[in-house]
Amino acid sequence: MAKGKMCVTGGGGYLGSWVLKLLLSNDYAVHATVRLPGDAKYAHLNQLEKASDNLKLFKADLLDYDSLCSAIEGCTGVFHVACPVPSTTVPNPQVEMIEPAVKGTLNVLKACLEANVKRVVVVSSASAVSWNPRWPKGQIKDEACWSDKEYCTTTKNWYFFSKTEAESEAFEFAKRTGLDVVTVCPTLVLGPLPQPSVNASSLVLIKLLKEGYDALENKHRSIVDVRDVAQALHLVYEKPEAEGRYICTAHSIMARDLVDKLRSIFPNYNYPKSSFIKVGEEDMLSSEKLQKLGWSYRPLEETLVDSVESYRKAGILD
């Protein structure tokens, strides 16, 4: 017997697929929104354990309110995972990113209100936390820190802007209507690919293995495993005391150290040459609030090994 019904928006994507897997393994019936249910790129969803009995795919678009209502109807919980994440620059940020992120999130929340959903977990991003020049230098950024929308605009960080705007609008909507909304803000998400296509965050690691850059910025990276993010989303849904926003991050590492670590495990890839360029301040984020709720994460080596193995299996590193 299924425990109850959940809806996952963007169920065919990288994080969405892992959330589906986790919910199905916890005996939930799941509605997942995808763009085209019959598309071969979603075939991996039907292979998930218990999918044949408990998973139903819905054709939906974030900007089509009625399509979201059909998927959310009858669900007690909703995980809003869908969001445009560009892997290159976008010519028209308003149409390609800001509108789907902000209006799409509000459409999901309205549909949840209409369907009497018990709690909505919205996937935001650490990019809605970290881009704030006024935050005291050297102070660890926690949930009280919000990215500065004006600064995002002047620096043309449209993804950061869209996530910040969507998350703050979600909380405004919750305040106005009484809908129970909790957000999770992951940093760079790595880990094995559940789907045949490559997502934007995995490209960061794939390029380190393949591109053989002559020089690379020695950036500070905050990494979290996709399976641990799925666990975090499930945790904040299940725990009645969860409220507000939760930063979700596990490991902080400099790009040079990340390359050294990869090279020690997988010596034969085309890594960046020896030149690493020093860049600005490092960004320190804390997931202490999430850990107090009971969240834990796996070792970085496990994430790296499982990621690279999955890229190898998919033929991405050939």
Q: Is the dihedral of CA 295, 301, 307, 309 positive or negative?
A: negative
Which one-letter amino acid corresponds to residue 100?
Answer: P
- Separation of alpha carbons 23 and 28, rounded Å: 6
Are 31 and 56 in contact by the 8 Å Cβ rule? The answer is: yes
- Cβ-in-10-Å burial (0-12, 13-18, 19+) of 268 comes to exposed
Structure tokens that stand for 310 in this block: 């999955």
Q: Which residues contact 145 (CB under 8 A, 6 or more apart)?
A: 129, 130, 132, 135
- Separation of alpha carbons 133 and 155, rounded Å: 12
Q: How far is CA 100 from the centre of its chain?
A: 15
Q: Which residues contact 296 (CB under 8 A, 6 or more apart)?
A: 228
Active site residues: 163
Q: Which residues contact 89 (CB under 8 A, 6 or more apart)?
A: none
Which one-letter amino acid corresponds to residue 304?
Answer: L
Q: How far is CA 277 from the centre of its chain?
A: 28
- Separation of alpha carbons 207 and 199, rounded Å: 12
Are 297 and 224 in contact by the 8 Å Cβ rule? The answer is: yes
Q: Which residues contact 194 (CB under 8 A, 6 or more apart)?
A: 14, 17, 18, 21, 44
Q: How far is CA 33 from the centre of its chain?
A: 16
